[in-house]
Amino acid sequence: MSAGSPLTVCSHEIELSHDSNSFDMTDSEGGMEPVRLGLIGGGLISAKHIEASRQIGSGRLVALCDINPQRKVLADELGIPFFTDYREMISQAGLEGVIDGSPNQFHAEIGIACAKKNIHVLTEKPIAASLKEGKRLVEAVEQSGISLLVGHHRRYFPPIRRAREIVRGGDVGRLVGVSMVWALMKPDSYFEVAWRSRKGGGPILINIIHEIDNLRFICGDVAEIGARAGNLVRDGEVEDTVAFHFRLVDGALGTALVTDTAPSPWSYELTSGENRDYFETDQDCYFFLGTEGSLSFPNMEVWSHPHGRQKGWWEPLMRRSEEVPWSSPFTAQLDHFCKVIRQQDEPIITAADGLLTLATTLAINESSVTGRSVNPLELLENS
């Protein structure tokens, strides 16, 4: 993709079935052969992918690669060959798909190498360590015809999918505003890992990229973003608190407050129940406001006036809430990846879409440094 060329972003076009709270994982549709998958990186996030691979029938892990030879133990446990060089793995293991769970700086290089070999990729977020690298990767993917999915796994979490359906399905009318809070306390031990206190290691790039992808997935693209970031409590190079405001392409306005230095019940991690390692509260972290009503997430309460009744601040409001059943987004993500490879599913995220999530996230950084509002697409095109 050359600078200035339009991006193909698919999130607007995704059609969700009426009952999209779960993916069809029942069988491999007519006895499809499990997709042959290789995993790169045997660290923290890869444990989730390994667990997911045990739950699906549509694919199976057939090789593991990690530059750390001690990770061979993991391959031995799985009974699959182990490689310390991903190039050897993608040349020798007869792979149809690669799950890339390596650190950010390798995502572009690995994705490009797989594209050259026509191997589909599910790469962890962010799509690349920089917009420049991300653009090179998107170009290689588009030339090759492979699918590269970015691991924004929350898109597969049923309450997120339901929120998208409610907001886009018109239950709240025309969206006018969004309010998001991501506030929690990271323990001191978290910062014993040196890179987390250095540039790029703060909550914007590590955590808020997930919030931005949720926002884009549920509501649509961001046209403009303005931010202030502060290092209010911790010494170090990175922000601990950020406030930003945004305008969506469709016109709705929004605000977000972010801090990793305040004990609070209001964050996706502590409210959504997606990852059961976190303490769970019964609070909300997002509010979506429209001309016909409002939705709180993850409690999924829709507030509106009864149908046919007058609207106004003296009129009674009705509250409707729904239970959305839990299922693992990592399992659904991997099953989807395999079905995309078998051309049984349309990708719910493309490489270009993942790149726009990265650009929108980096726009927060850019605005906090320059003090000016930033258009994510322009930031991407000028990178």
Ligand X SMILES: NC(=O)c1ccc[n+]([C@@H]2O[C@H](COP(=O)([O-])OP(=O)(O)OC[C@H]3O[C@@H](n4cnc5c(N)ncnc54)[C@H](O)[C@@H]3O)[C@@H](O)[C@H]2O)c1
The amino acid at 207: N
Give the nearer residue to ligand X in terms of CB position, either 238 or 302: 238
DSSP single-letter state for residue 32: P
Exactly one of 2, 13, 44, 307 binds ligand X (CB under 6 A); that residue is 44
Give the nearer residue to ligand X in terms of CB position, either 40 or 242: 40
135 near 111, Cβ under 8 Å?
no
Contacts of ligand X in 1-30 (CB under 6 A): none
Instruction: Please tell me whether residue 41 binds ligand X under the rule CB under 6 A.
Output: yes
Q: How far is the CB of 104 from ligand X (least distance, A)?
A: 5
Residue listed under structure tokens 């729904």? 322
Binding-residue total with ligand X (CB under 6 A): 22
Give the nearer residue to ligand X in terms of CB position, either 38 or 220: 38
Instruction: Please tell me whether residue 335 binds ligand X under the rule CB under 6 A.
Output: no
Q: How far is the CB of 330 from ligand X (least distance, A)?
A: 8
Give the nearer residue to ligand X in terms of CB position, either 302 or 348: 348
What's the Cα-to-Cα distance from 381 to each of 132, 212, 334, 355, 375, rounded to whole Å?
9, 19, 31, 11, 10
Cβ partners under 8 Å of residue 176, min gap 6: 251, 252, 253, 289, 290, 291
Instruction: Please tell me whether residue 153 binds ligand X under the rule CB under 6 A.
Output: yes
Question: Which two three-digit tokens encode residue 346?
Answer: 């349309």
Instruction: Please tell me whether residue 49 binds ligand X under the rule CB under 6 A.
Output: no
Contacts of ligand X in 123-142 (CB under 6 A): 124-125
330 near 47, Cβ under 8 Å?
no
Give the nearer residue to ligand X in terms of CB position, either 154 or 162: 154
Q: How far is the CB of 160 from ligand X (least distance, A)?
A: 13
97 near 33, Cβ under 8 Å?
no
Instruction: Name the strand (E) or helix (H) holding 356.
Output: helix 351-370
Q: How far is the CB of 114 from ligand X (least distance, A)?
A: 13
58 near 335, Cβ under 8 Å?
yes
Q: How far is the CB of 107 from ligand X (least distance, A)?
A: 6
Give the x-and-dash track for 292-311 against ligand X (CB under 6 A): --------------------
Dmax (CA) for the chain in angstroms is 70
Exactly one of 45, 176, 223, 253 binds ligand X (CB under 6 A); that residue is 45
Instruction: Name the strand (E) or helix (H) holding 357.
Output: helix 351-370
Exactly one of 49, 71, 161, 164 binds ligand X (CB under 6 A); that residue is 71
Contacts of ligand X in 85-104 (CB under 6 A): 86, 101-104
Task: Identify any residues that bridge with 288 across adjacent strands, giving them in sequence order.
Answer: 178, 295
Q: What are phi and psi of 197, to 5 degrees?
A: -105, 0
Q: How far is the CB of 205 from ligand X (least distance, A)?
A: 9
Cβ partners under 8 Å of residue 368, min gap 6: 227, 228, 229, 239, 242, 244
Instruction: Please tell me whether residue 361 binds ligand X under the rule CB under 6 A.
Output: no
Q: How many CA atoms lie within 13 A of 143 on its CB side?
A: 15
Distance between CA 360 and CA 216 in Å, rounded? 9
Instruction: Please tell me whether residue 66 binds ligand X under the rule CB under 6 A.
Output: yes
Q: Which stretch binds ligand X (CB under 6 A): 59-67, 155-163, 173-181, 319-327?
A: 59-67
Exactly one of 20, 32, 43, 236 binds ligand X (CB under 6 A); that residue is 43
DSSP single-letter state for residue 169: H
Q: How far is the CB of 18 from ligand X (least distance, A)?
A: 28
> Which residues are at the interface with ligand X (CB under 6 A)?
40-46, 65-68, 71, 86, 101-104, 106, 124-125, 151, 153
